[in-house]
């Protein structure tokens, strides 16, 4: 785990409750009130989805909800921004899968 547990300004994190969640079928732990992005990064997960056109891995980029690079599926809701979503106990999170874009679909139909 790569989480900062004693920050000079934010203080110690050891008083926060551990919350189980799953990512792509594997169980991990988040800390209470932690975002999905922070929990995944703390557990060593860097790839959150696959780019729609190129198939390249994507992860946390801006971490403030602007870029949409950290989209995941959380509790069956697609395109949830991991950087803005707080982990809930037993939350089921799945990485964003590569889906054909509208341009690819139009080319494939021709």
**pLDDT at 51 (0 to 100):** 87
Q: How far apart are alpha carbons 1 and 84 in whole angstroms?
A: 21
| Per-residue tokens: 8 | 């000079």
Task: Please give the full DSSP string across 27-92, using - where no structure is assigned.
Answer: EEEEETT-BHHHHHHHTT----EE-TTT--EE--SSSSSSS-TTEEEETTEEEEETTTPBP-TTEE
SS3 107: helix
**pLDDT at 97 (0 to 100):** 73
Q: Residue 26: enclosing H or E segment and its boundaries?
A: strand 26-31
**pLDDT at 41 (0 to 100):** 95
**pLDDT at 10 (0 to 100):** 64
**pLDDT at 76 (0 to 100):** 94
**pLDDT at 4 (0 to 100):** 73
**pLDDT at 38 (0 to 100):** 94
**pLDDT at 9 (0 to 100):** 76
**pLDDT at 70 (0 to 100):** 93
Low-confidence stretches of the chain (pLDDT beneath 50): none
- Per-residue pLDDT tens digits for 44-58: 999 999 888 888 899
Specify the CATH number of the domain 6-109: 3.10.20.440
């Amino acid at each position: 785990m790569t989480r900062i547990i004693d920050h000079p300004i934010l203080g110690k994190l050891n008083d926060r409750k551990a919350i189980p969640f799953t990512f792509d079928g594997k169980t991990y732990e988040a800390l209470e009130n932690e975002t999905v992005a922070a929990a995944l990064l703390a557990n060593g997960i860097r790839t959150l989805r696959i780019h729609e056109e190129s198939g390249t891995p994507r992860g946390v980029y801006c971490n403030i909800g602007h870029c949409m690079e950290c989209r995941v599926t959380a509790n069956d809701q697609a395109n949830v921004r991991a950087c803005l979503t707080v982990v809930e106990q037993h939350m089921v999170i799945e990485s964003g899968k590569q889906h054909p874009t509208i341009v690819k679909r139009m080319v494939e139909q021709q």
